[in-house]
Amino acid sequence: MNLSLKNSIVYSIFLGFAFNLIAQTPLFQGVQVNNQGLGGSYFEFTNVVNSIDIDDFGNIYVAYRNSNGLWVAKSVDNGQSYLPSVLVTNDNSVPPTDILINHLGYVFLSWPAENDKIIFSMSKDGGQTFSTPRVIGIENNGDGGLTVSMATYGDNIFIVNSNTSSLFFNTNNGEGEFDVVDTPRNAHDVFTDVLISKEGRIYFIGDYLNLSLYEFSLDTKSFKRINLAPPTESHSATYTLNQSICGDYIFVGDSGFGVLGHGKIGYKVNINTGEVSSVQLGDSSTFLISRFLYSDNQGVLFDGYKSANEDLFLSLSYDQGESFETTILVENGHVHGVCRNPVTEDIVVVYLKDRNIYTTVYEDTFKRINLLQPEKALALCAGAKFNLLFVPNAGFTKRTRFRVALSDKDGDFKNAIEIGSITTTNIETQVECILPEDLEEGSNYKIRLEAVNYCVESNSLNIEIGTEKALGQLSETSLNSIYFGCLDENENVIGTYPVIETFLSPEDYLFNWYCEGNLLSEEIGGNLEVTKTGTYQVEIIDKETNCTHEISTFGYLGKPPKMIVEVLSKDFEKNQIIQVIPQTTGMYEYRLDNGSWQERDTFNTVSSGTHTVYLRDTYGCGVVQETITIVGFPSFFTPNGDGIHEYWNIEALKHQNAIITIFDRFGKLLKQIKTSGVGWDGTFNGNDMPQNDYWFRIEYQDLNTGAPLIFTSHFTLIR
């Protein structure tokens, strides 16, 4: 068999393990990383997958050690070349180092040192400079492991030694002190690891003949054992947490050289139930610690292993270890690791050969689904129909069924809802989706595409449902508080009817108009004439997002007003009250004489005499007036020659010529006058009467009915 064969596919049997061997031409092959001297021999004894990581911008970082110290190399062109390496420390005794990049782009490095110390360094400037390595803690009862493993989630970073009794963690992006908690490890654990799920659940796993698994709570700083069934033997294992539409599993790759002979055996651990099943991996039984397992963010499982003649292989499983249908011969070398570029989705393999470190980049031609980001961010409402564009890469069968999954409002796909599906070939394809009608409002929903025949999922996209962003222009759409016009006496419109205007196009929106709660089924446009007075509502539906916006206003058609005026009080009462009663329906204001216009229809404490009452339409559709007389009498007068209040009379009855008889307080008749005259001047027989109260009696006719009436009261003469 010619293992160097390029651009062809060879079907082969290797040590009893069947696989599809793909000799794929890489994008960039054998690019040297260690541009500051030869790599150290310690590189052979590590899980090399931990020595490479890629940030969210697609920059590749590789940590390596040589006789001059610990270095970090960086590629900014997808592995085509590497910038000059940056020295982290000139200590050339540094064992294999774990490198990891968090969500802020901080580059973390950690390694074990003598006396069970854990060393840590970090870069906040994209690997240009690194902090002075520092001891973040000392193992409690440690056994001096060869490597450390790191994991991050949000601002948190976790570190364990391979032979660990302690878990170190920091909640401030690696800055400041690290906390430490004792782990429940077996006293003879050889390889341990810390793994974090997409949801932030923290798992601690270890082995030495007996595999053990725990979940760690950062809140309580405690471990909860997950019982494995059946109990499983493992030694010098590599671990990866693989999450896909088929389930959540930790995969265990057992090197087992010289211990159990399990170089072809792997395990699949259900993290929810603890159920363990075996997985057939590539044969790495010839060499110690010559396997790594790796999972990408779309559910693909990578098995990297080394054959008896030191060929480095990479096998891919799209069904969570049920089968490995794609196997790549990387190179003949010592050890290797892999990482998937989150920007290009290419596979980057790092390996050691003849004490030099290289990377080879394979173009993304494996089973993968690329869900394309729409030009406009996804912000819709419940019930919306929309299309998603996706590209299923080569490798899927022509009749693969793809479904679109919608997460819950927190972005969790555990109970995902199918909102669309399509069976298609390996070409750019559009799938129609329909959101359920009963979705809650939220800004953290996610959608992704899933290959039903496989355990492969696409990248996820954010989608907002029912938010202000989803409403878009609708959230800014408003109406005036009132739209008004006027009618004449015959109820014909004067000018034109008022128009309620939304300023939205029927091409983009649907409109349901209502007047007083009744649907105006013939009205489907973005505006509406007001042909009757009432409350108007419009329900606006965005055709693209299915978002609904309801707004209301008042439509008013005023008519020339009519009224009657009533005096609610009796003649001569102290608090005279007038009420205006409109005889037409409208929106009115009221005024008495030259006073201010008011919305109340009554006037209190009206003075005696003749008054003019006005009624007008608020929106200019007419005004009417009426004169009314209030019958009362002056409570005093001051006949002192200053021309003010010189005479006492009841002027409201001056048109009746009514007779008023005036008495002093002892009943003596002083004067008899007529209301049509000027009144009493405060004298008797030509002599001024003294300041005092005087009584009067008046005989008059009711102003409304004409009935004869008599009223008696008193007033004051003031000197």
Q: Give me the pLDDT at residue 18, please.
A: 39
Taking 3-state DSSP, the helix, strand and coil percentages for the chain, each rounded to the nearest 5, stand at 5, 50, 50
Are 498 and 483 in contact, with CB atoms under 8 Å apart?
A: yes
Residues in the chain predicted with pLDDT less than 50, given as ranges, are 1-20, 40-47, 258-261
Q: Give me the pLDDT at residue 417, please.
A: 96
What long-range pairs does 452-455 form, CB within 8 A, spacing at least 24? 452/400, 452/401, 452/402, 452/403, 452/421, 453/396, 453/397, 453/400, 453/401, 454/318, 454/319, 454/367, 454/396, 454/400, 455/244, 455/245, 455/246, 455/247, 455/299, 455/318, 455/319, 455/320
Are 523 and 595 in contact, with CB atoms under 8 Å apart?
A: no
CB neighbours of residue 215 within 10 Å: 15
Are 463 and 447 in contact, with CB atoms under 8 Å apart?
A: yes
Residue 208 Cα distances to 131, 189, 212, 214, angstroms: 35, 5, 9, 15
Residue type for position 242 = N
3-state secondary structure 279-344: EECCCCCCCCCCCEEEECCCCCEEEEEECCCCEEEEEEECCCCCCCCEEEEEEECCCEEEEECCCC
Q: Give me the pLDDT at residue 115, please.
A: 79
Q: Is the peptide bond before 230 cis (omega within 30 degrees of 0)?
A: yes
Question: What global pTM score does this model have?
Answer: 0.67
pLDDT digits (tens, 9 = 90+) for 245-276: 889 999 998 765 544 445 788 899 999 999 99
* Partners of 548 in beta bridges: 541
Q: What are phi and psi of 396, to 5 degrees?
A: -80, 150
Q: Give me the pLDDT at residue 49, please.
A: 61
DSSP label of 394? B
Q: What are phi and psi of 116, to 5 degrees?
A: 65, 30
Among all chains, which residue has been given the structure tokens 């505006």? Answer: 527
Using DSSP's 3-state secondary structure scheme, residue 141 falls into coil
Q: What are phi and psi of 115, to 5 degrees?
A: 60, 30
Q: Give me the pLDDT at residue 258, please.
A: 41
Using DSSP's 3-state secondary structure scheme, residue 409 falls into coil
Instruction: Give me the domains of the chain, ranges plus CATH numbers.
Output: 369-465 (2.60.40.10), 482-558 (2.60.40.10), 563-630 (2.60.40), 636-717 (2.60.40)
Among all chains, which residue has been given the structure tokens 């069968």? Answer: 397
